[in-house]
Structures are given as C-alpha cells and as structure tokens.
Amino acid sequence: MHEQVLHLLFPNVCLICQNLLLPEEKYCCCGCMVEFDPFTTPAESEEELRRTILAHFGTHFPFERGWCRYLFHKKSPLQQVLHSLKYEGLFHLGTTLGQQLGNWMVESGSIDAIDCIVPMPLHRLKKIERSYNQSEKIAEGLGQVLKKPVRSKFLVRKRFTVSQTGLSAKERETNAAGAFLATTGVRGRHVLLVDDVITTGATMSAAAEALREAGAVTVSLGSIALAAKEEL
C-alpha cells in the first residue's frame, strides 16, 4: 500500500524516485521513464513480439498486428510501476499507460481497421478482490487515443487460473488453455486484445482462440510491455 498512500498524500511525486514531478509529467518523471527500455519503433516491437510468439507457438497462434511499448525486465523501474498499477490501487496509472501505448500505435499508421478494443479479463473472484481490472484501465486509455470503443463484456474468464508468474512456458500454456469465453458481439470484427505484459503469449493465445471461435475475423495484440528474452 506504500505507493497508494504516498500518492494520496503527495500526488506530484515520481513513483520511482519520489522526486517532484514537472507540470507535464504524470506518475513518473522523465528521468525514470528513460530506464523503462522502450522499443525504438512500433515495427521493432511487432517484430520482437512475433519472434516470441513463433518461438512458443509456431504458426498455431496467428495474429494480424502487434504493439508493445517497452521491454519488461524483472526488478526494473517498469516492474515497480506495473506492480503499483496491479496491486497498489493506482488504477488511473493504467489509463495513462494506455494513452502512451495509443500514441505509440498511432505512429504505426495501421489502426483504422481495428473495430474495438477488448481487455484481458480477470476472473470475477479476482476482480472482486482487486476491485478493478488493470487491463481494462489500459484499454480505456487506448480507446481515448485511438477513438475506438472498449468492449469489456465481449470476453470473460470462465475458469479461475493461478498466476502465470513463476510458471514455465508449458505450464503457462496449460494454465491458460480453455480459460476464456467470448460472446457473439465479436463476430465479424477486428479485435485489439489488450493486456499489461506479454511473457510467452500463452494467455493471449488462449484468449485470441476464444475470440476467433466466437466469430472474430481478425485479432491484433497490444500490451504495455513484452518480456525480454532473459526473462523467459
């Protein structure tokens, strides 16, 4: 709860270094954000994402486009920020990160075909425990920038799954398999599926399969971060 209490008392300090933020900064100062390890271009992030998916799923996980803003490293400033988003109640941080990702996607010039944004759902019990879904907050920020509707009810997590943290690639795939159910609202649509971090792509793969089974014509992927090779 440290970060949550700190920002209630001192909302204009950096989450990482606790220095005062400049008027144009939000949650994190520019000095700390430099350490987030951003991708140079949207094309670079998509290439690395495709390499990750191919390594774990071959050609069995097709997706149209993919965008990730940062490389994820354990014990990094970015991990600290994402932890604050997921577990410290700073849900508005998700909206800010989603806006950043949205501006990044606009640079690629390939967003017009997207019909709607679908956040990775939490199981209802986990959402009750946490009170919000961090991926939904990211999707809301994305929607504001991309001018695309967010459709949280198009995909549900029908089975409770344990945290993917610490699981092997195979265990992640088994844990996520069959965990999702999509509604017919996705039929005929190009869906942008959104999560906070992609590690092996197992959760994205299971969710994308459910979307396609419900009639989604195309699935693209978006996330704040993609796990670096050394984290796999």
Q: What is the mean pLDDT of residues 28-49?
A: 91
Look-up of token digits 């949280």: 152
Q: Flag whether 126 is in a domain.
A: yes
Residues belonging to the chain = 232
* 1 pLDDT more than 50: no
Q: Flag whether 22 is in a domain.
A: no
Q: Flag whether 71 is in a domain.
A: yes
Q: Flag whether 20 is in a domain.
A: no
The CATH number assigned to the domain holding 76 equals: 3.40.50.2020
Mean pLDDT score across all residues of the chain? 87
What is the per-residue pLDDT across 172-181, written as a single tens digit (0 to 9) for each?
656 566 779 9
Q: Which domain holds residue 105?
A: 36-86+93-231
pLDDT of residue 23: 86
What is the per-residue pLDDT across 12-21, written as a single tens digit (0 to 9) for each?
888 888 889 9
Could you give the angle at the alpha carbon of 112 between the alpha carbons of 107 and 117, nearest 5°? 95
* 48 pLDDT more than 90: yes
pLDDT of residue 69: 96
11-39: b (≥16 Cβ within 10 Å) or e:
eebbbbeeeebeeebbbbbeebbeebebb
Question: What total number of domains does the chain contain?
Answer: 1
